[in-house]
Amino acid sequence: MIIEHKLVIADVKLVADFRSYILYWKRRFAEQPITDFCSVIRTNSKAPLEEQDNYFLLCDVLPEDRLLREQLQQKRLREILEQQQQERCDTSFHSMCMFCDQEFTGNRSVLLNHMAREHAFNIGLPDNIVNCYEFLAVLQGKLDNLQCLYCEKVFRDKNTLKDHMRKKQHRRINAKNKEYDKFYIINYLEFGKSWEEVQSEDDRELLDNLEEDWSDWEEHPVCAVCLFCEQQADTTEKLYLHMQKSHGFDFPKIKSEHGLNFYQQVKLVNFIRREIHHCRCYNCQEKFQSKEILISHMEETKHIAFLPARSTWDQPQYYFPTYENDTLLCTLSDSEDVITEDQSEEVPVVSEDISSLKALKQSSVLNQLLCKENKSWEKF
């Protein structure tokens, strides 16, 4: 169109349905002169007349063009939402896991949750994804071609690719790859905006409201609370020291001896919180009339220092915090991140990281926990 008809269309990538867009303007240009709709751009204006060219710019500055683009966008959004709803309710889904030989039928969420849980490969919540079959086919094609899904390098064999993605923590997709945009519903929600722009606006809004919403953050920091009493501390070092000296519970030692990863620490903390809340000894299961009597019993019998069988507390229900915004959960780290005694330093309970503030503000502690899971990729 540029070469043959001298027609330039601005922001073509923002046109939701290019074919419908072109057919509409083809009809309109047949009804009225093109200059009624387009700005005229003259090239080589100082050259002789025969060397000059007139180009016609069609853009959304024209109200009619803007309205057309918005209508096409809304039409596409309705279609994609209908498609998403159909996939969400579909019980005939059938596909095989990309990383093991297990087959899944029923709802797509079963497969996506399996890959996130068993292979630490999380492409997002099932309800945020559309055209799931095509999405999985694209990902499977890349793996079949021995291509890393994150850095997109190609490797010589599957074992090398598997080791690379595991060691480099590349068990995720490349968010910068525009090929994936069509599979996420957020990219269809706002006219002319990608998911990155929407997310950036959310972050800017948080920053703009930070002073108003968190004006007392520095002056009144949130402290982590002891697992067994009401004692609070503003650093994990102080809190762990208190629990060790006052109750005989050495959390860093227990974490090290049992090799607890982040996820297991979360479940252990929530399990202990739940048992103490119900005034029940987590070792002998005896119930008491008050928390004070319970703690005295556990300290005297040394039940406080030993964990029950792993199967007792390593259960899915303990992913959920016993108390809302349990700050201790936000300070946990994987076993390999433990700092040696010579290198130890006080870790503040309160982080000024914006994403942490946003998560705490929205009371979404569970989302933080789920995002930090780091399981081994046992099969390819």
Q: For 330-360, what is each residue's pLDDT tens digit? A: 888 764 444 334 334 444 444 333 333 333 3
Residues 67 and 95 in one domain: no
The number of distinct structural domains making up the chain is 3
For residue 357, tell me if it sits in a domain. Answer: no
The token pair at 83 is: 């498609």
pLDDT of 201 reads 59
Residues 285 and 319 in one domain: yes
Q: What CA dihedral angle connects 140, 142, 144 and 146, to 10 degrees?
A: -140
Q: Which domain holds residue 30?
A: 7-72
The token pair at 182 is: 């069509």
pLDDT of 191 reads 58
Exposure b/e, 274-300, CB count within 10 A at least 16 = b: bbbeebebbbeeeebeeeeebbebbbe
User: How far is 282 from 313, CA to CA, in rounded Å?
Assistant: 9
Residues 279 and 243 in one domain: yes
For residue 341, tell me if it sits in a domain. Answer: no
The yes-or-no verdict on residue 373 having pLDDT over 60 is: no
pTM of the model: 0.47
User: How far is 292 from 273, CA to CA, in rounded Å?
Assistant: 14
pLDDT digits (tens, 9 = 90+) for 293-308: 999 999 999 999 989 9
CB neighbour list of residue 267: distance below 8 Å, 6 or more residues apart: 313, 314, 315, 318, 319
pLDDT of 195 reads 58
Residues 249 and 297 in one domain: yes
374 or 268, which is more confident: 268
For residue 84, tell me if it sits in a domain. Answer: no
The token pair at 251 is: 């959390």
Residues 183 and 128 in one domain: yes
Boundary of a domain, candidates 154, 170, 202: 202
Of all residues in the chain, the percent with pLDDT exceeding 70 is 78
- The kind and range of the H/E element at 133 are helix 132-144
Boundary of a domain, candidates 152, 172, 202: 202
Residues 252 and 294 in one domain: yes
Please list the helix, strand and coil fractions of the chain in percent, rounded to the nearest 5, in that order.
55, 10, 35
Structure confidence at residue 210 as a pLDDT band (50, 70, 90) = low
pLDDT of 142 reads 93
Boundary of a domain, candidates 202, 236, 266: 202
pLDDT of 123 reads 84
For residue 241, tell me if it sits in a domain. Answer: yes
Listed residue (59, 68, 109) closest to 89, CA to CA: 109
For residue 355, tell me if it sits in a domain. Answer: no
380, 158 in Cβ contact below 8 A? yes
Residues 160 and 243 in one domain: no
Instruction: Give the residue carrying structure tokens 């968190």.
Output: 214
